[in-house]
Amino acid sequence: MTILAYLKLLPVVIGVAVYLFFSLIFTVLNLSMNNFRMRFSIFLFLAVLAGGSAFTQQDPQFTHNMFNNQAINPGFAGSQGMISAGMINRQQWMGFPGNPKTTVFSVNAPVKPLGINSGVGLCFMDDRLGFEKNMTILLDYAYRMELGEGKLGIGVNLGLLSRAINGKWVIPDSDNHVPATQDPSIPDAAVTSMTFDMGLGVFYNTDKIYAGLSTTHLLQPTVDYGDAVLMHMKRHYYATAGYLFKLSNPIFELQPSIFAKSDGASFQMDINMLLLYNKKFWGGVSYRLGDAVAVMAGTELPMGLRVGIAYDFTTSALRTYSNGTVEFILGYNLEVSTDKFSQRYKSVRFL
């Protein structure tokens, strides 16, 4: 086999590794449910993820994915047992004119309407890339139930997706290039279109473990720019998992996690490792297969506030032209007790 053939097998190998990781989680939890069926379903999901090895997808990517579960999984809503808000700002591939710039804001909280354990949330995303400006607003609902030592959230989100193109094209002056006005498949003026969007997800977490499976753009909506100019949104699939290790010195904790996504034709995976000190400071590294290596650092401030920063060192062919990627996070958690009319601030760790 050639080197290229081996590289094509890499996503499959990674998929099997993730499957074994999930299997370990359910073995450690010693769940009484039918483990074989669950593991088999996860394996099928990961087989879909391993369908390709390219990294071109419509959803934006984040380095702080362990702090960004709500943006891709409505089953996360209410899982922290408190009011939880967060914001991430990402400046990707700095140095390029029109480089991707993404900001996401999310907030969620546990609720109990009619005595039903639930979670609700709101997620807003602003994503800009070149001549595109895209915005998404989604409302999340998750039904929450006890399962083993933790809780399982089964969620759905509904909302609107807005995509805009400014229509300003820069065409090389050459006989080999056609002006935008002569190509009916692309708009030659500023256009905006809005469409309905939705997603599904399940999210399980205990004090030490979290794992989630989800999909965005479930109905694969079509964005209609008019004049027969259409954009088809592809369904994206996500798998996430993390574990909290208590080290021999209790002042240190280790938090490895994985993040995998696919649109059915391409595959991407992040492998993360965070080291926490005294539950207040963290630092870590992340490796995005074939794309970047990142370093992360942050702290938890008084009153439930979290701040952090990450810097991606590009490892792909773009490294010659890019100044890397920087990402900032801000988080806030507040536990409210309506029975005792008191408020408490709680750790904003991702578990």
Enter the CATH code of domain 3-345.
Answer: 2.40.160.40
Q: What does the alpha-carbon distance between residue 289 and residue 267 come to, in Å, rounded to a whole number? A: 9
pLDDT for the residue 34: 46
For the chain, give every domain's residue range: 3-345
* CB neighbours of residue 310 within 10 Å: 22
Q: Which two tokens stand for residue 179?
A: 């002006």
Percent of the chain with pLDDT over 70: 73
Mean of per-residue pLDDT scores for the chain = 80
Q: Regarding beta strands 236-243 and 229-232, do their DSSP bridges make them parallel or antiparallel, or are they unpaired?
A: unpaired
pLDDT for the residue 30: 53
- pLDDT higher than 70, residue 62: yes
pLDDT band, very low/low/confident/very high, at 130 (cuts 50, 70, 90): confident
pLDDT for the residue 344: 53
Contact predicate 102/90, CB 8 Å:
yes
User: Taking Cα atoms as reference points, which of 100, 4, 106 lies closest to residue 56?
Assistant: 100
pLDDT for the residue 185: 63
pLDDT band, very low/low/confident/very high, at 224 (cuts 50, 70, 90): confident
Q: What does the alpha-carbon distance between residue 314 and residue 292 come to, in Å, rounded to a whole number? A: 4
- pLDDT higher than 90, residue 279: no
> Which strand (E) or helix (H) includes residue 11?
helix 3-29
Each residue of 281-290: pLDDT tens digit?
999 999 998 8
Cβ neighbours of residue 52 closer than 8 Å, sequence gap 6 or more = 11, 262, 264, 265, 266, 267
Q: What does the alpha-carbon distance between residue 104 and residue 125 come to, in Å, rounded to a whole number? A: 4
Q: What does the alpha-carbon distance between residue 172 and residue 98 come to, in Å, rounded to a whole number? A: 18
For range 179-206, the mean pLDDT: 81
pLDDT for the residue 6: 44
For range 207-233, the mean pLDDT: 84
How far is it between the farthest Cα atoms of the chain?
A: 75
Contact predicate 120/111, CB 8 Å:
yes
Q: What does the alpha-carbon distance between residue 153 and residue 119 come to, in Å, rounded to a whole number? A: 8
Contact predicate 134/127, CB 8 Å:
yes
User: Taking Cα atoms as reference points, which of 114, 305, 70 lies closest to residue 203?
Assistant: 70
For range 342-349, the mean pLDDT: 51
Each residue of 285-335: pLDDT tens digit?
999 988 889 999 999 987 778 999 999 998 887 777 778 899 999 999 887
Torsion over CA: 246, 249, 250, 255 (sign) = negative
Give the residues across from 288 on adjacent strands: 270, 292
